[in-house]
Homo-oligomer: A and B are copies of this chain.
Amino acid sequence: MAEKPVPDASRRSEASRRAIHDAALALVAEVGYPRTTVEGIAARAGVGKQTIYRWWSSKADVLLEAFLDLGERAAREAGQRPDALPDTGDLAADLKLVLRATVDELHDPRFEAPARALAAEGLVNPRLGAEFVAGLLEPQLGLYARRLRSAQEAGAVRPDVDPRIALELFLSPLAQRWLQRTGPITYAYTDTLVDYALHGLAPR
């Protein structure tokens, strides 16, 4: 028998990968992280356990990649580049645009259940928490830090501001409202966060 040509194999393997991602996200949402297993993911995706271990070393690795992939798909659906924030020169407008897309994502049930299950597990499981912060959260925060540095070069942010702390003024409130359900998450809310963070609470 002739071997299949590479593009077909690559497409097939892409389809398996996607099926495994979807199975992992669905399972962690349904039964939680502790009860999600590589065996369960394999069964739900209709692949052998060895297929998973060929590509990943643990369920945490599968979930991390599944989550990154989901985030990239969501960014593309929202018309955003997944690897950079918009930079039109208007910092407030760019941040508001991206945060509004994040509001949509946080209300998307595909994202909501697995993200919440993983965040909860990350609080009590420091190794998983560290993997998700390093693999998922920090790269996202890095995009905001880069956008703020570009604004510093353009004179729209004070030169003495530390971008890694500054970004928390508008991102952490949104994260906490979502995680702990401490208030509604709306476009008006994220717009207000951007305005307060840029212009401060004190009179000018």
Contacts and interface: CB of A to CB of B under 8 A. Distances in A.
Interface of A: 32, 116-117, 119-124, 126, 129-130, 133, 137-138, 141, 148, 155-158, 161-162, 164-166, 168-170, 172-173, 175-177, 179-183, 189, 192-193, 196-204
Contact of A169 (B137, B141, B196): B196
Contact of A193 (B169, B176, B183): B169
B173 A169 contact: yes
Nearest to A200: B200
Summarize A's interface: helix, strand, loop or mixed: helix
How many chain copies? 2
A157 B202 contact: yes
Contact of A202 (B122, B133, B156, B193): B156
Contacts of A141: 182
A161 B166 CA distance: 19
A137 B138 CA distance: 26
A201 B133 contact: no
7 contacts: A120-B123, A120-B124, A123-B123, A137-B180, A161-B196, A175-B180, A204-B204
Nearest to A134: B182
Contacts of A182: 133, 137-138, 141
B176 A168 contact: yes
A169 B201 contact: yes
A203 B168 contact: no
